[in-house]
Amino acid sequence: MLRSLKDLEGYAAGATDGDVGRVVDFLLDDERWVVRYLVVEPGTFLDGSQVLVSPISFRDVDWPKHRFHLALTKEKVRKSPSIDVDKPVSRQHEGDFSRYYGFPFYWRSSGLWGMTSTPSALAENESTEEPTEPAEEGGDVHLRSARDVRGYRVQGTDDAIGHVEDFIVDDETWQVRYLVIDVGSWWSGRKVLVAPDWATRISGEERKVCLDMPREAIRTSPEWDPAAAIDPEYEARLHGHYGRPASRPVSGVR
């Protein structure tokens, strides 16, 4: 199922022995466009410090009740490595986090999640990787706050057009399937979708996402209705408009 990240903000995160807090943000991997972590605003037991929760730790998700069930205790979360989510999260921080929870390092292979395509499959393969090996400390930081990226200007090959408003994610793989672009500054609140694969560059300094298509192509893209399902017919029209290969069939969006 495809879901809006905005709609998932405010979901409860529940440990095996009680609530941890509520989701207030997400950290996106802007290389593979995957949600790597949920940022949780905890209750008083953590003195108000925000913590990261990985989809690898999910037991299940109760979508109707807006609740993520974690295979963790409150104490385990409370003692997790301190990470300042207002600053870039380095690979070393991720290594400390993964070693603490005993998670395999997802960045060791070319798949979305290690050698697998889903975080649940990576969790099941814990014994195939050694989480105590030293983490990679170098390299660029590719984790970005979803809340921060919302509002980034969108730059076509010839001119600017609108801004990023939201992200549509696959709730099994946690891959970002589409960026929601608001072109309302020019066309009265009109929203369109573009796949992150069509972005050539994302700049935090410039607060800008660059796409490899002209402004007019974006402007005339099939309009996205947040109240309607993203079905195979809509995706076929969307990808056909841009002359891009169609993505796999989907079962809708909420």
Angle of CA points 149, 33, 91, to nearest 5°: 90
pLDDT of residue 132: 47
- Tokens at 244, concatenated: 């891009």
- Residue-by-residue pLDDT tens, the chain, 254 positions: 999 999 999 999 999 999 999 999 999 998 899 999 999 998 766 566 789 999 999 999 999 999 999 999 999 998 898 777 777 788 888 999 999 999 999 998 888 998 899 999 988 875 444 444 544 544 556 899 999 999 999 999 999 999 999 999 999 999 999 999 998 755 567 899 999 999 999 998 999 999 999 999 998 999 999 888 889 999 999 999 999 876 554 434 44
pLDDT of residue 60: 94
Contact 186, 162 (CB under 8 A): yes
Angle of CA points 192, 209, 98, to nearest 5°: 105
Which residues are 27's β-sheet partners?
Answer: 37, 145
State phi, psi for 95 to the nearest 5 degrees: -60, -45
pLDDT of residue 83: 78
pTM equals: 0.89
pLDDT of residue 190: 86
Give the DSSP per-residue string, 98-143.
Answer: HHHHT---GGGSSBTBBTBSSHHHHHHTGGGS-TTSPPP--S---E
Q: Which pLDDT tens digit goes with each residue over 17-37?
A: 999 999 999 999 988 999 999
- The domains located in the chain, with CATH, are 8-143 (2.30.30.240), 150-242 (3.90.50.10)
State phi, psi for 4 to the nearest 5 degrees: -80, 130
